Amino acid sequence: MQPGFCINGTVDPHSSQEFHDILVDMNPSGIALGCILLIGCCFSVIPQHVKIIKTKSVIGLSFLWMFLGNMNQFGGFVNMFVLKYPQIQACTVLGFSTCGPSLLSLFQSFGIWLLSFPIYILYLIYAPRDLNLIEKEKMVELAAAKKEYKYSKIFFTILVLFIVVVGTIVAVFLSDYVGVCSHTTYIFGYSMGILSTIVTFIQWSPQIYKTIRDKVVGSFSITMLLIQGPGSLVNLYFLIFVSKESVSTWLSYLCSSIQIFTLLALLIFYDRRNKRIKRELQDASNDEEQDLLYSSSPSVSVQNYKETHPLLPNNSGPKSFKTTNSYNNLILDNNNNLSPSLSPQNNSFYNSFYDQDDVDDDNENISSKSQNNIIL
């Protein structure tokens, strides 16, 4: 075994004192903070699960974001697992109550990866349903959506192979064939941290690009980011100042925090923007419906008919048949020739616009003027 490559630059520990020396001295407040972060990190992913299952849709999610995110989280977990493995061994010697606080960051990393991985599985389950909907609606995006789903299955296969291969390598390096604190094991563990950091730089880029391109929130959970954003900053503080992790471990969390807040800002912007546009369209639609109902109502139809037929009575002023000389003359000239069916008393169309009192008054006026004409 080559010395100097274990935690804190120590050799491979064997005695109780050597195991105790590699543990992190953490006060009760630090332990409480670590436990809160552990619970928060795990439950921060739950809203995304709920939203996908509730909507039965993965529209708006980028499979590349899920692929890179799983590589980042699994790589970060392997980095911690390899470099902190002597602390894990300390649990068998000193007990979990003694070594547990030093492993809180490891539990956080494993928990968030374990809960993030099923999101990719849910994507593969519900993506065909979205494809059927797109095909049913005959959208132009069908070809692109089918291509994206095809690539998502290929990248999922690559992800599974990556997990299996890396897990196998870890098992070999931590065995007696290589050694926990050997130089090879240390380089491998540190390299996984660097890989996780590199992946983090581009992890959120596909999702940020997809959000800007589509300008929709879709099935992405804003609640998840509202929890993960502030939580990532607190977790970063915990890793640097409380758990005292390697820079290869916490650097990826720093990059991730910056991109989380960037994506969160975009999602909130497009969510409010789309809700405002939807509200404006609904208001415009309601106005059109009201106008249509108003124009098609019986009272409005009658009023419009009256406006185009000046011989009908107008409620806004004196009745036209009383004030229009031509109409009076027409009645006087043809009064004796009107058939009973066309007389004012029997005309149903006439009676639909005139009340009975007006008809009686009109008959009296017509009779009076007829007598005057006879006298003259």
Q: What is the DSSP code string of 295-307?
A: HHSHHHHHHHHHH
The pLDDT of residue 124: 96
Which pLDDT score, from 0 to 100, does residue 306 have? 46
Out of 90-104, 199-213, 302-316, pick the least confident.
302-316
Dmax (CA) for the chain in angstroms is: 142
Closest CA to 41 of 148, 90, 113: 113
pLDDT of res. 253: 80
Kindly give, in sequence order, each residue whose CB lies less than 8 Å from that of residue 369, ignoring residues fewer than 6 positions away. 328, 332
Could you tell me if residue 219 is left (phi over 0), alpha (psi between -120 and 50 degrees) or otherwise beta?
alpha
Gap between the Cα atoms of 253 and 167, Å rounded? 22
CA 141 to chain centre: 19
pLDDT at 322: 43
pLDDT higher than 80, residue 206:
yes
Residue closest to 19 by CA, chosen among 84, 117, 111, 90: 90
Helices 85-94 and 63-83 cross at an angle (nearest 10°) of 50
pLDDT at residue 10 in the model: 63
The pLDDT of 168-191, averaged and rounded, is: 88
pLDDT above 70 coverage of the chain, percent: 74
* pLDDT at 250 exceeding the cut of 60: yes
**pLDDT tens per residue, range 323-338:** 444 444 544 444 444 4
User: If pLDDT is split at 50, 70 and 90, which confidence band does 179 have?
Assistant: confident
Over residues 116-135, mean pLDDT = 93
Predicted model pTM: 0.68
Residues 339, 356: Cα–Cα separation, whole Å: 20
Q: Per-residue pLDDT for 2 more than 70? A: no
Residues 6+ apart with CB under 8 A from 371: none
pLDDT on residue 166: 96
Query: What would the pLDDT profile of 326-370 be if each residue is shown by its tens digit?
Result: 444 544 444 444 444 444 444 444 444 344 444 455 555 545 544
> CA 247 → CA 99, 128, 190, distances in Å?
21, 41, 10
Question: In 292-338, which ranges are E strands?
Answer: none
pLDDT, tens digit, for every residue of 291-324?
A: 666 555 555 444 444 444 444 444 444 444 444 4
Q: How far apart are CA 100 and CA 93, in angstroms?
A: 12
pLDDT of residue 334: 47
Residue 24: C-alpha distances to residues 31, 98, 101 (Å): 11, 10, 8
Residue 89 has pLDDT above 70, yes or no: yes
Long-range contacts at 94-103 (CB < 8 A, ≥ 24 apart): 94/16, 94/19, 94/20, 94/23, 98/20, 98/23, 99/19, 99/23, 101/23, 101/24, 101/26, 101/30, 101/31, 101/34, 102/23, 102/24, 102/26, 102/243
Mean pLDDT throughout 235-264? 85
Residue 63: count of CB within 10 angstroms of its CB: 23
